[in-house]
Amino acid sequence: MSTTTNEPLDLIFGRRSIRVYSPGEVSEPVVTRLLEAAMAAPSAMTKDPWRFVLVRDKQTLSKLATLHPGAAMLSSAALAIVVCGDLDVAFDRQISYLLQDCSAASQNLLLAAHAQGLGACWVGIHPGEALIKQVKELLSLPVSVIPVAAISLGQPGEQPPPRTRYNADYVYCEKY
């Protein structure tokens, strides 16, 4: 990683997946600010199909954690924000646009959490059909609403160093 400091880019390089949380809550004003940042993401034809389910109940967080092999951190998080998309609202009712919109919102949410000094970790839900069904049941989601990801949030209990995974071998000029 470059040693040159560029504060906006430092935010991106410093954002890391945090899977260990210290005790402490995340206030409602902070959650609202995170959601504002998420909803500032681009959306195909400005359809904004994203929907967000806030999960603070420890039993529900523990149940979510057991549904996915990479989601153990949810049981110790202060909350999870489950990022969903409403297929009835997505541009042209296309799952691809819904997934792109929800992914952009998720990345904004992760960056905003880091900017607020919080730890966060993205746990993918889509495209696992069984997992989607279980999360839909657990959260009582309507038929047209598809869970895309769960974002664990809380006070960070670890601080991995900033990094980039830039690899020049992945860059092509003009043609592949």
Structural domain boundaries in the chain? 7-170
DSSP 126: T
Residue 124 in contact with residue 103, Cβ under 8 Å?
no
Entry pTM: 0.95
CATH number among 3.30.365.10, 3.30.300.90, 3.40.109.10, 1.10.1060.10, domain 7-170: 3.40.109.10
pLDDT string in tens for the chain (176-residue length): 454 567 889 999 999 999 999 999 999 999 999 999 999 999 999 999 999 999 999 999 999 999 999 999 999 999 999 999 999 999 999 999 999 999 999 999 999 999 999 999 999 999 999 999 999 999 999 999 999 999 999 999 999 999 999 999 999 999 99
